[in-house]
Structure 1
Amino acid sequence: MHRILRTLRSTALLAATTLLLTAVPVHAQPHDHGMDPDVVVNPADTPNRPDYHGPESSSWLPGGLQRMSSDPTVYEGFIQDFRPQTVNPMFPGGRDHLPKADIDMDPQILARLREYARVDGDRIRQINAYSPSMGRTIPLIWIVPEDLSEPRPVAYFLGGGDAGQGRDNWITKSDIVDFYSQRNIHVIMPMLGAYSMFSDWLEDYPDQGGKQMWETFLTHELPGPLEEALGANGRRSLVGMSMSGTTALLYATHQPGFYDSVAALSGCGDTNSWIGRRIIASIIEKGNGTPEMMWGAPNSDYSRYQDAIINAERLRDQPNMYVYNATGLMNSVDFEGPNAPEAEWQLKDRLTMGLVIEAGTNLCTHRLKAATDAAGIDTIHYDFRTTGTHSWDAWWNAVLEFWPLQARGFGIDAGPVTPGLDVGSSEPGRFPDIWGSAARSYGSATVPSLSSLLDDPVLSTRSSLTGSSAEGDE
């Protein structure tokens, strides 16, 4: 009898323990989020990524050119629907009914973040935020202000194509830690957004974690709970570069004023176009995604909603906005900067993809300026540079240019904004919009297609001077 009772008690205890363990929410259980550097070199890597048979890595020709011309996931037809789409077809009634993120301010630090982002649990810390819409925990990097005696603003910095999950990120490639901590600004950088455009996807993205609802996470789920946990003061800024430069343009278009300042560096807001879809495809195919998985067919309501140019009128209400782009030509920082190429392959990368990507986003940014000019919007601070590749030193210099505007949004006096950002300057290295006034060239806020731009007698003359052609662009 006693043996039976002992057996029953043991069984009941085991059952109760099992029940307690299974009752713990999945996102509260410890796991490495695929961020263990001993398992994968970079969680953004995609082992079964398609081979597009581009040039060998030793070639001086950029492999991305081959993919942009032959990638079968890219739409090949005409994209010519420029009707504005200002209502989000995914959430026509807004997101107020959706739950918010759960915040863990003191999680176990991931080995990858210690190694690749210098997270030390003190000056640079990790925060975990559970995203209900994505059903998983997102690690955040937090650069802590030196003085936490009063509420401080928050600057959200987004990464490039691999979302900063490898060795190249804002912490390792810039002076962001010293600069912002000394100025008592919280800096937050989300991880695990590789090749996602930090967007809300229509379809799952299996090779990058499944459901992608980054805009919902970053603009609805995260800010309130996180900023309350930080003891922030309600002022916030957004900075994006390369892939996330596009994200910054789209967030500002979708919710102007949600951020008190926005910087879009080397991004492409011209997304519902032939060249825009090609640029986007060349990014997200690295995770085995396609533009259709993300935004659906070109010209669809959701695809047009995700285009900053055809919805440029919305940017009228975005304060303290800074848009940077260079030409792709190498300059002094490419030889003398902290991140200047050291190995031969790095130099080749600057001379090829560093040129091609920056030149492509340069075209996108000029088309954005054409749209905002045509709409009579003169509050955006455009910074076009005669030289500069798609590289970290150029972006950090752009952040320093942005700082007075960013500080203004924080309610901080950081001195005057550099004169001439909008209309060009005699300062070496900075030039005005080479396409001229959009209002003079086409006289309306409707952005024409690339082919019609090149048919314009004024623009076609300028195109010949800059070395482009209708054949090359089409």
Structure 2
Amino acid sequence: MVAVATALSAGTGPAEAAPVRRAPAGGFEELIVASSMGPVKVQVQWAARGGSSALYLLDGLRAPADHSQWTTDTDALRQFAGDDVTLVFPVGGHSSFYTDWYRPSSTNGQPTTYKWETFLTRELPEFLAGYGVSRTNNAIVGVSMGGNAAMTLAAHHRDQFRFAGSFSGFLNPSYPLWNQVMRAAMFDEGRFNIDDMWGVAGDPAWVRNDATAQAERLRGLPMYVTSGNGVPGPLDLPGGVGNTINAAGIEAFSVIAASTFRDRVAALGIPARVDFTTGTHTWPYWQQSLTVARPMILEALAGDR
């Protein structure tokens, strides 16, 4: 049974959980956290021995409203079950790029303005601190839409994150081609208007939210970036020809972005592990990427545990 811990108040600001000395030792919960966007569900697997470090895991463009796909489409919970690291799965963020938007989307009747950067770097850490989770000893990884977000959030909040990972992320959105690719994808996935997110192409918000453009801010941070090459491999589901073709096409864009990021950090002399594999834009490959990243994540978080 899933326990639900509610942290809502009559006021407009986020309500923190009652302070405790250590995080619960193990177990899975669903929390409801107040935010400027309204209540946000957050699924957590508590650190096995009540440790304070945490790993944030971000979904892709089709992020469901009721659960994180990390919890259903990968074995992330099992992988980290014995580790003293709390897994944090924000729920929602459909077509949001986990960023602070300028205004609500004007093409689908969105009632509130997405403020995901504020939530992930201020409201949620403040709430989790009440459970003994550190505000400063965290890692963050994301897939697809969440991959670039993980890198840029780490770039702009170095006091919070000690590791960042992107699995098939779109790491160069300010490049002219990406504006149109993202525009089409976001309109198809929920009729969202990209201009309401970061303004028209050329607005400073595009560069601020571009992991490749912000590479210098990532200097000294352990990073793992990976992408498939778009060629179907052993983890693609047999019989799912249509889905595999779509996933192959999307991953072909991802590998270009990852290559651009690799070349940028290399030119700056910034160490980063960047892997290219056979595969497409789908969860079995991202589960595999998390397996590879896990030792790096644990090492990065080991200092304060």
Q: Same fold (TM over 0.5)?
A: yes
1:124/1:142 contact within 8 Å kept? yes
Q: What's the CA shift string for 1:131-180, capped at 9, x where partnerless?
A: 1x32x1111111133433xx331111111112243677111111111221
CA shift, 1:100, in A, is 6.4
* Code of the aligned partner of 1:195: S
Q: How many residues align?
A: 285
Letter in 2 for 1:410: L
Pairing partner for 1:279 from 163, 175, 181: 181
2:167 alignment counterpart = 265
> What is the aligned partner in structure 2 of residue 244 from structure 1?
146
- 1:406 matched to 2:292: no
Matched, 1:193 2:87: no
Q: CA contact under 8 A between 1:164 and 1:170: conserved in structure 2?
A: no
Question: Alignment RMSD, CA only?
Answer: 2.3
Cα distance, 1:302 vs structure 2: 1.9
Is the CA contact (8 Å cut-off) linking 2:43 and 2:67 kept in structure 1? no
Match of 1:175 among 54, 60, 75: 75
Does residue 230 of structure 1 match 2:230? no
* Superposition deviation, residue 181 in structure 1: 2.2
Q: What letter matches 2:84 in structure 1?
A: N
Q: Distance in 1 between matches of 2:13 and 2:182?
A: 29
Return closer, same or farther for 1:348/1:167 CA change in 2, 3 Å cut-off. Answer: farther
Percent of aligned pairs sharing the same letter:
24
TM-score (norm 1): 0.56
Distance 2:269 2:209 in 1: 22
For residues 64 and 48 of structure 2, the distance between their equivalents in structure 1, rounded to whole angstroms, comes to 24
Q: For residue 86 of structure 2, what is the amino acid of its counterpart?
A: H
3-state DSSP of counterpart to 2:139? strand
Q: Which residue of 1 aligns with 2:247?
A: 354
Determine helix, strand or coil for the equivalent of 2:252.
Answer: helix
Q: Does 1:369 align with 2:282?
A: no
Unaligned runs of 5+ in 1: 1-25, 30-98, 106-121, 335-339, 413-474
Contact 2:53–2:301 (Cα < 8 Å) also in 1 = yes
**1:248–1:367 Cα change, 3 Å:** same
Partner of 1:102: 15
Please state whether the residue corresponding to 1:102 is helix, strand or coil: coil
Provide the C-alpha distance between the structure 1 equivalents of 2:77 and 2:174, rounded to a whole number of angstroms. Answer: 36
Q: What CA distance in whole angstroms lies between the structure 2 residues aligned with 1:259 and 1:395?
A: 21
1: CA distance between counterparts of 2:265 and 2:222? 15
Identify which of structures 1 and 2 has the higher relative contact order when contacts are C-alpha pairs closer than 8 Å and 6+ apart.
2
Amino acid across the alignment from 1:402: A
> TM-score, structure 2 length as denominator?
0.86
Q: Select the residue among 380, 384, 392 that pairs with 2:276.
A: 384
Does the C-alpha gap of structure 1 residues 154 and 333 become closer, same or farther in structure 2, counting only changes over 3 Å?
same
SS in 2 for 1:399: helix
Offset at residue 393 of structure 1 (A): 1.0
Give the counterpart letter for 1:354 in structure 2: A
**d(CA) in 1 for partners of 2:222 and 2:247?**
28
CA distance in 1, matches of 2:89, 2:68: 13
| Alpha-carbon distance change, 403 to 152 in structure 1, aligned in 2, over 3 angstroms | same
CA contact 1:104–1:129 (8 Å) conserved in 2:
no
Specify whether residues 209 and 186 from structure 1 end up closer, same or farther in structure 2 by C-alpha distance, changes over 3 A only: farther
TM superposition shift of 1:208: 4.8
Q: Which has the larger radius of gyration?
A: 1
Report the residue type matching 2:286 in the other structure: W
Q: Determine whether 1:314 maps to 2:203.
A: no
Runs of 5+ unmatched residues, structure 2 = 1-6, 19-25
Aligned position for 1:154: 54
Which secondary structure does the structure 2 equivalent of 1:184 belong to? coil
Q: Quote the Cα distance in structure 2 between the aligned partners of 1:305 and 1:293.
A: 15
SS in 1 for 2:140: strand
Match of 1:202 among 102, 105, 108: 102
1:354–1:236 Cα change, 3 Å: same
